[in-house]
A = this chain, B = another copy of it.
Amino acid sequence: MLDAKAKAMINGKNFAFIATLARDGSPQLTPVWVDTDGKHVIVNTAMGRAKQRNTARDNRVAVVISDSKNPYSYTYVKGRVTEQKKEGASEHIDKLAKKYLDKESYPWKDPKETRVMLVITPEKVISQ
């Protein structure tokens, strides 16, 4: 369901914002780096962070990817975190560090943290 425009937005050096649901059902919102495998929106976080815990409890999310060159251009994705994937997540954050920071590896790795990918299956995609 990700169309060409949405994929281009995600593959560009654009920042995203992900809304999840806190335990009390209130919205929680954080800026994130973003990636796609062509089908899913992928966000990399660490086990124990609010968005990881929130989506383990209730997997419904909304994501806006904002065009860094034009604040009036964005892609909106509503969907569900259908998988939390630890395997490959450490390599994946390095891939994002290359994209966003032009560094070979993620500079803020914390050995106490376990990285995890939130794999989002889109249910609605709107680009504007």
Listed in ascending order, the chain A residues whose CB lies under 8 Å from chain B are 15, 17, 19-21, 25-31, 60-64, 66, 68, 71, 74, 76, 78
For residue A20, which residues in chain B have a CB less than 8 angstroms away from its CB?
A: 27
22 contacts between A and B (CB under 8 A): A15-B66, A15-B71, A17-B29, A17-B64, A17-B66, A19-B19, A19-B28, A21-B25, A21-B26, A25-B25, A26-B60, A26-B62, A26-B78, A27-B27, A28-B62, A28-B78, A29-B29, A29-B63, A30-B64, A31-B64, A31-B74, A66-B66
Is B31 a contact partner of A21 (Cβ separation < 8 A)?
A: no
Is B31 a contact partner of A66 (Cβ separation < 8 A)?
A: yes
Is A29 a contact partner of B62 (Cβ separation < 8 A)?
A: yes
Cα A29 to Cα B78 with chains together (Å): 9
- A123–chain B nearest beta-carbon distance, Å: 9
Cα A71 to Cα B66 with chains together (Å): 11
